[in-house]
Structure formats: C-alpha cells, structure tokens
C-alpha cells in the first residue's frame, strides 16, 4: 500500500544546512568530527538553492538545462565518470551565465562540499542505491531519477534512510506526479468517483524509438538486467507509479509473458525483455492489462505510451487528459477535458523540487511511491521470467 510520509518533520533552510553539515560529517563523507562542520550559510527562501548534479548523460543534461532556467538554482558542482560529459555540462553552466562549477569524477567529493544543498542524480539504475543512500546521509536534498532502486532490500533501505533523515527532501523522478493533468484526473477518479467503480486499466509503453535494436547499443547499461533491472523496472515504473496511485494500492498478483531473445544476435549479452505483456490484479477486482515493447512500427496504431482507466460510468485517458462518459452515466456532456494545457513535465517536476526546498514542503513524489513502483516492476519481472502468476508476497520474499 502507498504509505504517506506523515512522520516527516520539517526544518527551515537555515537549520537544514546545519543539519546537513552534521550529517555529512557523521556519514564519513565530509569533515572530521573533531574539526566540526562549517558554519551554516544564511540561506532563506529568496536565495538560490546551491545544487550539484551526479550523472550528466541524457537525463542529467535535461535536469541541468531545466535547472539553469530556474532563477532559484545555482549549479555549484557536477560529477560524472566521463570527462567529456563533465566538460559539456560545465560549458552549459557557463553559457547560461554561471561560474564554472567544480568538476568531480567521484560523487562522494561532491557530497563533501558543505555549501551544496541539493543534488540531481541521473545515473544508470544500478548506481542509484549507493548514491541515494549517501546523499541522504550527507543531508543533501535529492532529486533522484526513477526507478528509485532495483531490489526489495534497496527499496526498504532507502525508505529507512529517509525516515532517519526526515529533514532531507527526497523527490523520486516521476514527473507525472507534478503534472496537474495527472493530479486532477486521479482526483476525479478517486475522490469524485466520476467513473464509478474501477473495472479495467489499459496501459502501454510501445516504443518506436531507441534505434534498430532497442534502446542502448551493445553492452549498454539499458541492455543488461543487472544494471537496469529490465524494462519493467527501468521504464514501466512510470506506469506502475500512476496505476498504484489510481488504485490507491499495490497489486495482489501479476501474470506475464515476454521475449528476451529479440535482439540477442546483435548483442549476445542483451538479456532485457524487449517485448512482454502482463496482467495485474489490484484489490477490488480492478484488472490492468499492460503491453511494453521496443518493436513497434512508428505508427500510432502500434506505438505510444498511455494509461487509460475504465469504470462502470466511463473511461479516462489520463495521458491525453480526456474523460468519455458511457450511456450508464447520467451526465449530459459525454466528454470532459482534464487540464488540456500543461507545461513540460520535467520542468514542472524540477521546479516543484526546488519549491519544496525553498518553502519547506514535502515533494509530490517520495520514497514511498518510489518503493511501491519498483516493487511492482519486480513483481511483473518475476511473472514474465517464470511465465506464471506471482503474488505480491512471493515477490517480497524472493527479490
């Protein structure tokens, strides 16, 4: 079940900086305990948040470009294993009128900088766990890309780490959580019950991009289960997060079938499921069918990403923001648009994270929904690999 971080206490930014400095020292990532932490900066809601980035590949560059447009962020440091990417990121900061950021190849050095309040992290999934645990221990607010992590133990550890450091704002990179269309659509379903009892979900991630042989070339992290978690963890986690939110619960069981051989002749080590489909059962006999692939021809008849939900009174296309009421509904207008005009989701999510820090509020996407979304990915993965129905309890015991 989704749990609410009701017990998260909040601190002012000034006391956050003091707490963060002490945490970094305690975590062994910062200053010696004898020397003590540096004096906290006098940051208030009007001051820019000093941020660092860990991982500036495709997604991290998007974080950087978006953060550079936010007047309340200053980029103080960047870390990547790849020097070319580091220099490219530094160039973007300077071109936007900023000072050259400190450049690191070891993220722990970035975390040792007491002046850094917040971190954006976008590395291959396998690296998330260690980086997120260390960021939180160092007292840095974290925008950490999805999936939060790729195993049950990692998910539980990150939740515990957040609970030990409640002053740290952790936002997991599910940008749909900050999208007013998704928020309003889910309110209409759950609170206003405009669809009546939910019966069916239809969702898909049928990709017609990513190159001839699925995303990631031979040997890339996206092509390896150990590094990505497989597509049901790496990519479908966006959908699981939305479906859990709609259901207000996690599934009881899932069944699945798939194919891990499709592009193996191009890359003998490729072991991800470039096609699978799954059926998930949520409480209340709410059944969701899901299809996910990298083989779709580039035609909307075959490709695209959507989450649609049908109740006895109508259906919502949450992705498009449209409700269509059925003849069983007594509404006169049979269609309703939900927030038809929205800004770019990544911009909404990154601005929302900065706003949480400045105004001391809880992020819309937390470690709790991050944990649940990863666990659904693990449930579906086990079902697909074992070609059978797998219960939530079995998944928790085995992953």
Ligand X SMILES: NC(=O)c1ccc[n+]([C@@H]2O[C@H](COP(=O)([O-])OP(=O)(O)OC[C@H]3O[C@@H](n4cnc5c(N)ncnc54)[C@H](O)[C@@H]3O)[C@@H](O)[C@H]2O)c1
Q: Footprint of ligand X on this chain (CB under 6 A)?
A: 54-60, 79-82, 85, 107, 122-125, 127, 145-146, 173, 175, 234
Rank residues 57 and 196 by Cβ distance to ligand X and give the closer one.
Answer: 57
CB of 188 to ligand X, least distance (A): 24
CB of 58 to ligand X, least distance (A): 4
CB of 376 to ligand X, least distance (A): 15
CB of 292 to ligand X, least distance (A): 14
Contact assessment for residue 300 and residue 317, using Cβ atoms and an 8 Å cutoff: no
CB of 97 to ligand X, least distance (A): 24
Burial of residue 330 (number of CB atoms within 10 Å: 0-12, 13-18, 19+): exposed
Q: Which helix (H) or strand (E) holds 141?
A: strand 141-144
Rank residues 50 and 177 by Cβ distance to ligand X and give the closer one.
Answer: 177
Q: Which helix (H) or strand (E) holds 188?
A: helix 180-190
Taking alpha carbons only, the member of 31, 15, 33 closest to residue 117 is: 15
Q: Map tokens 């997120």 to a residue.
A: 132
Rank residues 234 and 274 by Cβ distance to ligand X and give the closer one.
Answer: 234
Rank residues 167 and 369 by Cβ distance to ligand X and give the closer one.
Answer: 369
Rank residues 43 and 242 by Cβ distance to ligand X and give the closer one.
Answer: 242
Whole-angstrom Cα distance, residue 210 to residue 220? 12
Give whole-number Cα distances, 238 to 167, 244, 313, in Å: 26, 10, 26
Give residue number: closest CB to ligand X: 57
Residue 148, C-beta contacts closer than 8 angstroms, at least 6 positions apart: 128, 132, 154, 155, 158, 172, 367, 370, 371, 373, 374
CB of 175 to ligand X, least distance (A): 6
Q: Say whether 152 sits in a helix, a strand or coil.
A: helix
Rank residues 143 and 325 by Cβ distance to ligand X and give the closer one.
Answer: 143
CB of 395 to ligand X, least distance (A): 21
Whole-angstrom Cα distance, residue 147 to residue 141? 17
Rank residues 167 and 365 by Cβ distance to ligand X and give the closer one.
Answer: 365
Strand order in the sheet with 253-259: 335-337, 322-325, 314-317, 304-311, 198-206, 286-293, 275-282, 253-259, 389-391
Rank residues 349 and 383 by Cβ distance to ligand X and give the closer one.
Answer: 349
Token pair belonging to 80: 């990547």
- Conformational region of residue 252, where left means phi above 0, alpha means psi within -120 to 50, and beta covers everything else: alpha
Rank residues 44 and 219 by Cβ distance to ligand X and give the closer one.
Answer: 219
CB of 328 to ligand X, least distance (A): 36
Whole-angstrom Cα distance, residue 288 to residue 328? 22
Whole-angstrom Cα distance, residue 144 to residue 374? 14
CB of 5 to ligand X, least distance (A): 21
């Amino acid at each position: 079940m989704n749990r609410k971080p009701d017990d998260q206490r909040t601190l002012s930014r000034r006391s956050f900086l003091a707490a963060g400095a002490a945490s970094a020292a305690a975590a062994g990532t910062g200053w010696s305990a004898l020397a003590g932490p540096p004096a906290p900066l006098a940051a208030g809601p009007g001051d820019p948040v000093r941020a660092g980035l860990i991982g500036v590949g495709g997604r991290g560059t998007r974080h950087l470009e978006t953060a550079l447009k936010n007047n309340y962020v200053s980029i103080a440091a960047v870390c990547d294993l790849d020097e070319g990417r580091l220099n490219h990121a530094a160039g973007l900061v300077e071109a936007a009128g900023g000072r050259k950021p400190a450049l690191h190849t070891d993220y722990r050095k970035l975390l040792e900088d007491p002046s850094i309040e917040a971190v954006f992290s976008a590395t291959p999934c396998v690296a998330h766990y260690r980086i997120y645990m260390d960021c939180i221990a160092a007292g840095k607010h974290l925008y950490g890309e999805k999936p939060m992590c790729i195993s049950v133990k990692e998910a539980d550890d990150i939740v515990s780490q957040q609970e030990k450091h409640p002053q740290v704002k952790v936002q997991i990179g599910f940008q749909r959580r900050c999208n007013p269309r998704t928020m309003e659509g889910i309110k209409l379903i759950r609170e206003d019950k405009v669809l009546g009892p939910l019966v069916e979900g239809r969702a898909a991630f049928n990709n017609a991009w990513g190159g001839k042989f699925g995303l990631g070339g031979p040997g890339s992290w996206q092509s390896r289960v150990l590094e990505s978690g497989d597509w049901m963890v790496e990519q479908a986690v966006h959908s699981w997060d939305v479906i859990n939110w709609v259901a207000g619960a996690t599934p009881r069981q899932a069944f699945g079938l798939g194919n891990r051989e499709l592009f193996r002749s191009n890359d003998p080590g490729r072991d991800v499921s470039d096609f699978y489909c799954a059926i998930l059962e949520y409480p209340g006999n709410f059944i969701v069918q899901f299809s996910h692939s990298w083989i779709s021809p580039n035609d909307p008849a075959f490709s695209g990403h959507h989450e649609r939900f049908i109740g006895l009174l109508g259906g919502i296309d949450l992705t498009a923001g449209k409700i269509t009421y059925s003849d069983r509904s007594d509404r006169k207008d049979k269609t309703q648009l939900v927030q038809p005009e929205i800004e770019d989701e990544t911009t909404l999510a990154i601005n929302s994270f900065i706003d949480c820090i400045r105004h001391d509020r809880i992020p819309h996407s937390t470690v709790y929904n991050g944990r649940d979304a990863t666990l659904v990915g693990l449930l579906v993965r086990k079902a697909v690999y074992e070609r059978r129905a797998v219960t939530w309890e079995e998944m928790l015991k085995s992953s």
